Structure 1
Amino acid sequence: MSAPGGRPLRVLVLDHTAELGGAELALVRTCAALGPGVDARVVLFADGPLRARLAAAGVPVEVVPLASTVATVDRERAGRLSVATLLGALRTVPFLWRLARRLRALRPDVVHTTSLKADLLGIVPAAAARRPLVWHVHDRIAPDYLPGPLVRVVRGLARRVPAAVVANSRATAATLPVTTAVAYPGFAPEQADGSDEALERRGGLARRGDAPPPVVVMIGRLSPTKGQLEVVRALRTVVDAVPGARLRVVGEPAFAAEDYAARVRAEVTRLGLDDHVEMVGFVADPRAELDGAAVCVHASPVPEPFGQVVVEAMVRGVPVVATRAGGVEEILLDADADADADADADADADADADAGTDVAPTRTDLGILVPPGDVDALAAAVLDVLDDPAAAHERAVRARDSALRRFPVERTARVLTDVWTDVSARARRA
């Protein structure tokens, strides 16, 4: 796992954002888990909290700034051919030149991009520096997640440009024409610290039936793709049945989602839930939020590429209710244990969706899955957990064992290191 001469393999990671999204938090954990055979450095295209997180983890990091007018272009605008899009492309030329010059100076063995914008913007500098490029794709490259023109561009480039393509889940890999490996975003050891005690405490409450008023927790940035509105609407039914129930919404709006956050707050008031909902804001370490919850809800109305919050809840032994779509489904169906059964379940779910069939909440060995966007099913699933805490606890115990086995960050680091080693060796032979 080393470069010629026995030195560590030099990997340069590119990310377009310095905000703390799921892929960025996973990057920090992964870099910290890399062994001595890899010398990783990160170049960000903007300054922000991610830079401090990486530096605190001992990862060398620097910023090559990209014009904000380009960096803030969202997926919808990027997928449209317009004068603004063309002008934005022209504005990237000086940035690409600066980045290529920096790559030539750093002389990495491999260039690794970890966001969709970085995947695209890294092509020219990596080629100019004559360094192999690895894409780490964290987005489902599908028309239900990205604009159609952008999907066609990314899929076409994926076939021809990168030396390797890594996906963050099987669900993401299924939307790509080629995939070298699947590297799940892993949890760090400290995320499991104290989870034995939290699990035992929750189990004792479930057995005695004397739990305090239940807390439903939802963790993630406030965004239409995360489903906070659906959870608030489902809570109205939950509170009608369990008047003491409360919801804690942990996270802040990001990527220009302030209007959506205002809609969520307005819906809380409209439904008369102000005394039952707390908008917590960003929390750097969500372990305490999870440990105090009776159930963790993941409610994305569109198929998500993975679902790190689901894994975090599983590691803490918290019962999970999640939407049955994308990478979340493979998390709660334990793909490693029975890949064939999962494939059959995926096919059945796709068939139901195509036929317009209403799919009811489904208990699995590890949690409860509901159809995306189905508020009634979401409420029913949460009430299932609250009404039968003993059964929910048994699922949570199995889920924790599954997550500890399948999703440690050390496994992520091994997969990526193997890909980088292979790509580097092939580049040297070429």
Structure 2
Amino acid sequence: MTRARPHILCVHQGGELYGSDRSFLQAVQAIRSGWPDAWVRVVLAVDGPLRPLLAQVADEVIARDLCILRLANPVATALKGTVALPWYLAQAARDIARADLAYINTTVVADHIIAARMAPAKSIIHVREIPKPRAMPVIRGLCLASGAGLIYNSAATRDAFAMPAGRRQAVIHNGVDRVPDAAPPAVPDAFTADRPLRIAMLGRINDWKGQDLLIDAAARLPADARARLRVRIVGSTFNDVREPIEALEAKIAAGNLGGIVSLEPFRDDPEEVYRWADLCVVPSRLPEPFGRVAIEAMAHGRPVIAAAHGGLVEIVDDASGWLFPPNDADALAAILAGVIADPASLAAHAAGAAQRFAGHFSSETMSERLRAVLSDWIPALRV
């Protein structure tokens, strides 16, 4: 008897090309490669540049309003989670009922997570966040009540959610594609004003990613060290709110860092930034659930300076970069000063970063692990 074509539903809260969006795209690509005959349907909460990329691998991609938990928009979240919730749940229930696998990316897709309770055996939530303390009880409670299998992007994320023993759970580190022509930075014998140490920081601008901490660290360097430093902070705010940008601009001016630190808007393709940089900094004030920018940097042969908490400690080791105590601008400044004074240490860590990436964080490694977990948990996907 001919086996029925499996139907796979993939749901995501965004439509841009930030880290969670790119990770979702990779997951859908992994699903397609593992089950080439499946009907893959993708539902996005918003339209954007992610959609045409998904259309290359999925049979159907739609963008429609979903019940997404967003602290940045509490009024809309409250309305969706109360008055309009039955309507959202009805749509989510129909989505899941048609599928053999419901793959829900991130923990903020509230309607599908709640609806997963009706079919927990075929539902999986990919946990890519460590919610803030006030949000954690709500989000953890929804995930717990759903009964769905839980995939975490790091052991730190798993430990933060602290689900009961016996729950279907797995840790799968994110991965990124190999960069075919990746090469280590051309490190000079000495950093100068004409050839300064080039530092990149990429990511959403918000109150916890730590852009302000990096600016503070640069301002605390001695004048001669600051003259041998250039920093590019690349990213945008949610809904392009101006206030956080203006606060960073004021901090740059107050620290006399004009010409040393620059702010640039988010870009869909950060390739040029990684190639320009000698190293990348991930100074997150709160624990990163993973830290995709760190492995993207390593894929380009760039070492990483990172805050020592969350998933970052599972990525950066002594050979591939430097860790500093979270929220400690003086400690970060000391590492920057050390690299400026000793370019050879940068070259050694660049080699270690490339090796670390190749052994642990390629997209092939992530895809193989994801397919293995889905096959184990979802009977309809077993060959």
Which TM-score applies when normalising by structure 1? 0.78
Partner SS state of residue 73, structure 1:
coil
Q: List alignment gaps of at least 5 residues for structure 2.
A: none
2:114/2:146 contact within 8 Å kept: no
- Is 1:122 aligned with 2:112? yes
**Aligned pairs, number:** 373
Deviation readout 1:339-363 (Å, 9 max, x if unpaired): xxxxxxxxxxxxxxxxxxxxxxxxx
**Equivalent residue for 1:193?**
180
Q: CA deviation at 1:45?
A: 2.1
- Is 1:47 aligned with 2:59? no
- Is 1:286 aligned with 2:270? yes
**Equivalent residue for 1:90?**
83
- Distance in 1 separating the partners of 2:59 and 2:283: 33
Letter aligned with residue 337 of structure 2: L
- Is 1:170 aligned with 2:155? yes
2:199/2:277 contact within 8 Å kept: yes
What CA RMSD, in Å, does the superposition of the two structures yield over aligned residues? 2.9
Q: CA deviation at 1:377?
A: 0.9
Partner SS state of residue 391, structure 1:
helix
**Equivalent residue for 2:221?**
238
Matches within 5 A, 1:350-365: 364-365=318-319
Partner SS state of residue 238, structure 2:
coil
Which of 94, 104, 111 aligns to 2:102? It is 111
Partner SS state of residue 116, structure 1:
coil
Letter aligned with residue 53 of structure 1: L
Letter aligned with residue 373 of structure 1: N
- Distance in 2 separating the partners of 1:103 and 1:57: 20
Letter aligned with residue 217 of structure 2: A
- Is 1:300 aligned with 2:287? no
Partner SS state of residue 11, structure 1:
strand
Letter aligned with residue 91 of structure 1: A
- Distance in 2 separating the partners of 1:157 and 1:95: 15
1:31/1:59 contact within 8 Å kept: no
- Is 1:18 aligned with 2:15? yes
- Is 1:377 aligned with 2:331? yes
Letter aligned with residue 105 of structure 2: T
Q: CA deviation at 1:258?
A: 3.3
Range 128-137 or range 322-331, more displaced: 128-137
**Equivalent residue for 1:180?**
169
Letter aligned with residue 162 of structure 1: G
Letter aligned with residue 422 of structure 1: D
Which of 348, 352, 377 aligns to 1:423? It is 377
Q: CA deviation at 1:248?
A: 0.6
Letter aligned with residue 299 of structure 1: P
Which TM-score applies when normalising by structure 2? 0.87
- Distance in 2 separating the partners of 1:134 and 1:417: 13
Q: CA deviation at 1:77?
A: 4.5
Partner SS state of residue 84, structure 2:
helix
Q: CA deviation at 1:160?
A: 4.5
1:41/1:60 contact within 8 Å kept: yes
Letter aligned with residue 44 of structure 2: L
TM-aligned CA distance change 1:25 to 1:426, over 3 Å: closer
1:295/1:385 contact within 8 Å kept: no
**Equivalent residue for 1:227?**
210
The structure whose residues are more often helix, as a share, is 1
Matches within 5 A, 1:38-77: 39=38, 40-56=40-56, 60-66=60-66, 71=68, 73-74=70-71, 77=74
- Distance in 1 separating the partners of 2:202 and 2:77: 35
Q: CA deviation at 1:237?
A: 2.7
- Distance in 1 separating the partners of 2:375 and 2:21: 22
TM-aligned CA distance change 1:103 to 1:319, over 3 Å: closer
Range 91-100 or range 109-118, more displaced: 91-100
1:238/1:245 contact within 8 Å kept: no
- Distance in 2 separating the partners of 1:158 and 1:72: 13
1:28/1:57 contact within 8 Å kept: no
1:169/1:184 contact within 8 Å kept: yes
- Distance in 1 separating the partners of 2:78 and 2:264: 37
